[in-house]
């Protein structure tokens, strides 16, 4: 009897046990995310390096040679030169960012400095809507509008880097812009007031004060946009032409990492060199994504100091 | 040139660029909606798709998209709720939590094709599930989990500490306090986050082409047995979604009226995304009204 009371008083109550269970449950779920992320990185890395370990491809050849023909063997080595795709991915990404950044800055400045509250209330949801437009829709538009346009202007097939970059520009532009707007509105009003009080024109205050103060945020926005562009698969695949050739001009058919992956991985047999080579492309994609992530982190750390 | 002139020119240039963008956006939206809704009859929504002849519809693809969305949410909402609660309420400030946060960021920034390929490798090939709805739903979960988790975590963090203190002062355990006081208060923000992520899931295609597959077996909507291959409820059947259908029509080019169907399907996609956006805004505004007592 006495023991029972003691037991009841010293053992955890029902609510405590429930709390421990709840904490454990949510912890397990959170740990699942860790397992998942590590698994994604691990599996792709293991699959991606078999080309170099098992099939004996030289890493340097993979990165710099432009003969992509994983099935055939030349001089005792499979022809796995991924340079055209790596170059293609970088070119479309850079070009898209170069087109998108000025426009994003313009809209960002307009929304944070010039526009009335009413206009902003209209523009914000529009940007959000365009962020949400599925990428296949942009790809389809590129295919029926931009590719024929390129064909009439430059001749040839109309497929290539330039249409890819234009499609990506439209796609990443809303993302970059929303983040630029956030960066600009985060600059304290007192900065602007101080500049204006010193007799600066509005443009001087924007150009010399606001833009400089918001530079880390703007850079983060552009890198985010580039990361998205680099990893976008279907929209680019639809307009790039999908032939693994070194791009000779901005409107010659070529391929990107993502376009080659989407169009080929279903056509190869698991474990074959053709398949392994594609997983190596996926690994490059993964590494670049991690690199963009690191860049964003570094900028954020600099901002704190 | 004097500063005032530069100021005027800069403003003019910016206004012109804004105008160009607005015109571009209006043209894009107009093009999709006009060509999409004018070239086909509206009943294409209820017709089955045809691979090699004109006049196909999108009935099964539309159903597949919706069904995948529901399944993906069924898996990802409880998981991200749990992870969000842990991060916002339980997680101590240590290396483990920091690593967890970094990994969530990494997962959310991975290209969807990489996530899709991972799901293809593990689920479709290693576990031999084959191209199936459930593989697609898992791929979408991988892709949705990090963003939804951080949204839910932020929603919890935005609640004032006085709420927690009041709960604990009443003698509630932390779990009871979270479940009974915090959770009801963030339901509207969770709904908004879920609706917005639904829009992204609905339009996602890259993660699905090698998980839920690129073929849509004709479904028999009278067959409700989830184990039969032509039942709409079967989760082991391959299921081409609307977004994948648009991609496939345009990259294979077998269908004579591919342009018309793609335009119409794009219009449907955009309208659905628009509806998701509007309802998310509606809930967001309702929430603001409730919290700030604004009318």
pLDDT tier at B200, thresholds 50, 70, 90: confident
**Tokens 């992956």 belong to residue:** A261
Higher pLDDT, B213 or A235: A235
Asked if A26's CB is within 8 angstroms of B83's CB, the reply is: yes
For an interface test with B, which of A14, A106, A134 has the most B Cβ atoms less than 10 Å from its Cβ?
A134
- The pLDDT of A174-198, averaged and rounded, is 93
d(CA A205, CA A211): 9
pLDDT digits (tens, 9 = 90+) for B234-280: 888 888 899 999 898 888 767 778 888 888 889 988 988 888 888 88
Q: What is the dihedral of CA B226, B229, B234, B236, to 10 degrees?
A: 130
**pLDDT value of residue A305:** 53
**A21: nearest CA partner in chain B:** B175
Report angle CA B199, B203, B204 to the nearest 5 degrees.
Answer: 115
pLDDT tier at A155, thresholds 50, 70, 90: confident
User: Which member of B79, B91, B103 has the closest CB to residue A37?
Assistant: B103
**Tokens 């119409």 belong to residue:** B264
Q: Does domain B45-292 have CATH number 1.10.3720.10?
A: yes
**B104: nearest CA partner in chain A:** A33
Angle between helix B183-203 and helix B242-252 axes, rounded to 10 deg? 20
Q: A248 phi and psi, to 5 degrees?
A: -90, -25
Q: What's B198-249 look like in SS3?
A: HHHHHHCCCCCCCCCCCCCCCCCCCCCCCCCCCCCCCCCCCCCCHHHHHHHH
pLDDT digits (tens, 9 = 90+) for A239-277: 988 888 888 888 888 899 999 998 888 888 888 888 888
DSSP labels for A162-184? Answer: HHHHHHHHHHHHHHHHHHHHHHH
Interface pTM (ipTM) of the complex? 0.89
pLDDT digits (tens, 9 = 90+) for A220-231: 999 999 999 999
**pLDDT value of residue B292:** 62
| B46 pLDDT higher than 80 | no
Domain ranges of chain B: 1-39, 45-292
| B294 pLDDT higher than 70 | no
Is B246's Cβ below 8 Å from some Cβ in A? yes
pLDDT tier at A156, thresholds 50, 70, 90: confident
pLDDT tier at B293, thresholds 50, 70, 90: low
d(CA B193, CA B198): 9
**pLDDT value of residue A268:** 85
- The pLDDT of A66-86, averaged and rounded, is 81
| A3 pLDDT higher than 70 | yes
DSSP state of A241: B
Higher pLDDT, B52 or A30: A30
Q: What residues contact residue B26 under an 8 Å CB cut-off, 6+ apart?
A: none
Return the closest-CA partner of residue B266 out of B246, B249, B293, B289. B246
Helix, strand, coil: what percent of chain A each, to 5? 75, 5, 20
- The pLDDT of B137-166, averaged and rounded, is 93
| B171 pLDDT higher than 70 | yes
pLDDT digits (tens, 9 = 90+) for B80-123: 999 999 999 999 999 999 999 999 999 999 999 999 999 999 99
| B57 pLDDT higher than 90 | no
**pLDDT value of residue A1:** 58
User: Which member of A43, A137, A237 has the closest CB to residue B121?
Assistant: A43
Higher pLDDT, A103 or B57: A103
User: Which member of B89, B111, B145 has the closest CB to residue A233?
Assistant: B111
Is B146's Cβ below 8 Å from some Cβ in A? yes
DSSP labels for B111-171? Answer: -HHHHHHHHIIIIIIIS---S-HHHHHHHHHHHHHHHHHHHHHHHHHTS-HHHHHHHHHTT
Return the closest-CA partner of residue B210 out of A264, A35, A132. A264
Counting one residue from A and one from B, how many pairs have CB atoms under 8 Å apart?
236
Higher pLDDT, B132 or B226: B132
Interior/surface letters B8-20, b for 16+ CB within 10 angstroms, e for the rest? eebbeebeebbee
d(CA A158, CA A139): 14
């Amino acid at each position: 009897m006495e023991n029972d009371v003691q037991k009841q008083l010293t053992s955890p109550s029902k609510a405590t046990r429930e709390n421990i269970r709840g904490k454990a449950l949510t912890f397990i779920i959170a740990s699942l995310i860790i397992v998942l992320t590590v698994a994604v990185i691990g599996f792709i890395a293991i699959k991606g390096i078999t080309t170099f370990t098992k099939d004996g491809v030289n890493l340097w050849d993979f990165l710099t040679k432009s003969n992509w023909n994983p099935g055939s063997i030349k001089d005792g080595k499979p022809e796995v030169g991924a340079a055209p795709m790596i170059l293609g991915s970088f070119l479309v990404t850079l070009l898209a960012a170069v087109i998108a950044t000025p426009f994003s800055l313009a809209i960002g400045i307009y929304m944070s400095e010039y526009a009335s509250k009413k206009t902003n209330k209209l523009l914000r949801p529009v940007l959000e809507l365009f962020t949400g437009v599925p990428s296949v829709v942009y790809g389809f538009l590129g295919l029926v509008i931009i590719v024929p346009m390129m064909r009439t202007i430059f001749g040839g097939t109309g497929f290539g880097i330039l249409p890819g970059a234009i499609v990506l520009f439209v796609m990443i532009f809303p993302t970059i812009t929303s983040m630029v707007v956030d960066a600009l509105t985060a600059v304290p009003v007192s900065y602007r007031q101080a500049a204006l009080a010193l007799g600066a024109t509005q443009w001087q205050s924007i150009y010399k004060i606001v833009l400089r103060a918001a530079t880390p945020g703007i850079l983060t926005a552009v890198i985010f946009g580039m990361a998205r562009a680099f990893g976008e698969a279907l929209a680019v695949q639809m307009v790039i032409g999908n032939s693994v050739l070194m791009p000779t001009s901005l409107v010659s058919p070529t391929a990107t990492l993502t376009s080659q992956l989407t169009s080929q991985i279903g056509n190869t047999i698991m474990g074959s060199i053709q398949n392994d080579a594609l997983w190596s492309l996926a690994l490059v994609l993964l590494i670049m994504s991690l690199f963009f992530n690191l860049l964003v982190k570094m900028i954020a750390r600099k901002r704190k100091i | 040139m004097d500063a005032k002139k530069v100021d005027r020119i800069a403003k003019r240039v910016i206004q012109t660029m804004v105008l160009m963008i607005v015109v571009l956006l209006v043209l894009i939206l107009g093009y999709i909606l006009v060509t999409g809704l004018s070239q086909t009859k509206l009943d294409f929504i209820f017709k089955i798709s045809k691979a090699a002849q004109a006049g196909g519809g999108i009935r099964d693809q539309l159903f597949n998209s919706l069904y995948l969305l529901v399944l993906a949410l069924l898996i990802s909402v409880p998981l991200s709720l749990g992870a969000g609660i842990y991060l916002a309420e339980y997680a101590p400030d240590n290396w483990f939590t920091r690593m967890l946060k970094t990994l969530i960021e990494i997962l959310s920034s991975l290209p969807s094709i990489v996530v899709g390929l991972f799901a293809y490798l593990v689920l479709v090939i290693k576990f031999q599930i084959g191209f199936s709805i459930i593989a697609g739903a898992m791929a979408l979960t991988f892709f949705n989990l990090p963003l939804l988790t951080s949204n839910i975590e932020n929603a919890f963090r935005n609640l004032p500490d006085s709420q927690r203190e009041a709960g604990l002062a009443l003698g509630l355990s932390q779990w009871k306090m979270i479940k009974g006081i915090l959770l009801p208060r963030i339901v509207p923000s969770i709904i908004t986050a879920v609706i917005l992520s639904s829009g992204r899931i609905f339009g996602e295609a890259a993660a699905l082409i090698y998980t839920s597959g690129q073929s849509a077996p004709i479904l028999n909507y009278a067959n409700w047995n989830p184990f039969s291959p032509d039942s709409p409820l079967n989760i082991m059947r391959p299921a081409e979604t609307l977004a994948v259908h648009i991609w496939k029509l345009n990259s294979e080019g077998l269908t004579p009226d591919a342009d018309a169907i793609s335009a119409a399907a794009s219009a449907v996609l955009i309208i659905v995304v628009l509806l998701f956006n509007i309802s998310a805004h509606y809930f967001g505004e309702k929430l603001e009204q409730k919290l700030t007592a604004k009318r």
